[in-house]
């Protein structure tokens, strides 16, 4: 089956977002628009009334085929702050678990006149598949698919960096840990190179940082001191042991000794470097408690920013869908 090109599938004829599946194919203008809109939503969390009516009357369905706490909760909170009606589909007790195909489940949800699906799935390409096989009026937001992409996580990381560093020009960023299994790292690399940072270093053992990532514009480092030297931003990643097949690591303690971020190894970076982590954190495996809770850490800021970024993406995709529907109706009227 032919697969649609990501940019063509995600944008309508006016260049507006109508799905958000991957950062592949999206240019700096679109990414900056997401960040600007998210910035405008950030102050809302401090207000007594934390709602705007941008998705009033719309129905958002959370379809999480993988376990998630932080991502699902922030998507739900974002949808509610946009005044949408939210349905959390329990996959373990749904018809899908009783043998119904994914496509049949989606058709039933379409028949309920849902407007947006938030999709998390263990298979790479699942969100893309759903976007191609749903009605044109349903917006699809990728909340993480296999090793492929986690675009909203990458954008909330970009918002965090921009708010702490003022921009992206000239920045050196180190992403440390299990790059091989990380959909977050792939999306971060696409976002950082599109937004114009000076250098992205991928740091970790050879088994978890394959050389082919250099073709995506990254510098490969297997030595932590070389990787952290004079960087502005450090992103630590979780070891995804559930995705590892075979012995990719000697032990967690050995990994921590060679690649763990401690107060001593943090000193190799710039004195004003910020430390990020998409969570969940394994303290004493990839990062020490002193650093995770220290003055350089912006990890909890990432969580707060995640709500604003998801509000931005959902409101933009819904606007793009409405514009596409108006265009279709206009064409239909002219054809009569």
| Lookup result for tokens 């195909």 | 101
Question: Tens digit of pLDDT for each residue in 208-231?
Answer: 998 999 998 999 999 999 999 999
Burial class (CB in 10 A: 0-12, 13-18, 19+), 101: exposed
Look at 251 and 299; give whichever has higher pLDDT.
299
Question: Tens digit of pLDDT for each residue in 18-43?
Answer: 999 999 999 999 999 999 999 999 98
Contact predicate 65/231, CB 8 Å: no
Over residues 193-202, the mean pLDDT reads: 97
Is pLDDT of 299 > 80? yes
**Contacts of residue 64, Cβ cutoff 8 Å, sequence gap at least 6:** 72, 88, 89, 91, 118, 119, 120, 143
Burial class (CB in 10 A: 0-12, 13-18, 19+), 304: middle
Please give the pLDDT value at position 163: 97
Q: How far apart are CA 173 and CA 136, in angstroms?
A: 38
Look at 91 and 325; give whichever has higher pLDDT.
325
Is pLDDT of 333 > 90? no
Q: How far apart are CA 238 and CA 259, in angstroms?
A: 12
Please give the pLDDT value at position 69: 85
Please give the pLDDT value at position 332: 79
Q: How far apart are CA 123 and CA 130, in angstroms?
A: 12
State pTM to two decimals: 0.92
Is pLDDT of 93 > 80? no
Element (H, E) at 257: helix 252-259
Question: Tens digit of pLDDT for each residue in 104-151?
Answer: 877 787 788 899 999 999 889 999 988 988 776 899 999 999 989 999
């Amino acid at each position: 089956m032919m697969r649609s090109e990501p940019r063509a599938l995600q944008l309508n004829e006016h260049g507006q977002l109508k799905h958000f599946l991957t950062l592949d194919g999206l240019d700096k203008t679109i990414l900056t628009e997401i960040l600007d809109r998210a910035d405008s939503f950030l102050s809302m969390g401090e207000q007594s009334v934390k709602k705007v009516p941008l998705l009033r009357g719309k129905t958002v369905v959370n379809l999480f085929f993988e376990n998630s706490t932080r991502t699902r909760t922030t998507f739900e909170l974002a949808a509610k702050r946009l005044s949408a009606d939210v349905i959390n589909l329990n996959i373990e007790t749904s018809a899908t678990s009783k043998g119904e195909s994914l496509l049949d489940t989606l058709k039933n949800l379409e028949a309920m006149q849902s407007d947006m699906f938030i999709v998390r799935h263990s298979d790479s390409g699942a969100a893309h598949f759903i976007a191609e096989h749903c009605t044109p009026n349903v917006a699809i937001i990728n909340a993480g698919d296999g090793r492929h992409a986690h675009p909203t996580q990458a954008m909330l990381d970009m918002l965090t960096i921009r708010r702490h560093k003022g921009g992206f020009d000239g920045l050196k960023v180190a992403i440390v840990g299990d790059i091989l299994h990380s959909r977050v790292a792939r999306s971060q690399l696409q976002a950082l190179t599109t937004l114009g940072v000076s250098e992205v270093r991928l740091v970790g053992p050879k088994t978890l940082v394959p050389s082919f990532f250099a073709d995506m514009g990254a510098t490969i480092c297997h030595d932590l001191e070389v990787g952290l030297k004079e960087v502005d931003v450090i992103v630590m990643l979780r070891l995804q042991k559930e995705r590892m097949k075979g012995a990719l690591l000697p032990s967690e303690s050995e990994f921590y000794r060679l690649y763990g971020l401690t107060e001593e190894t943090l000193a190799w970076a710039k004195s004003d470097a910020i430390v990020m982590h998409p969570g969940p954190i394994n303290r004493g495996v990839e990062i020490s408690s002193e650093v995770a809770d220290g003055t350089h850490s912006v990890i909890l800021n990432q969580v707060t920013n995640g709500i604003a970024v998801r509000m931005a993406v959902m409101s933009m995709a819904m606007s793009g869908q409405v514009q596409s529907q108006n265009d279709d109706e206009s064409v239909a009227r002219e054809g009569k």
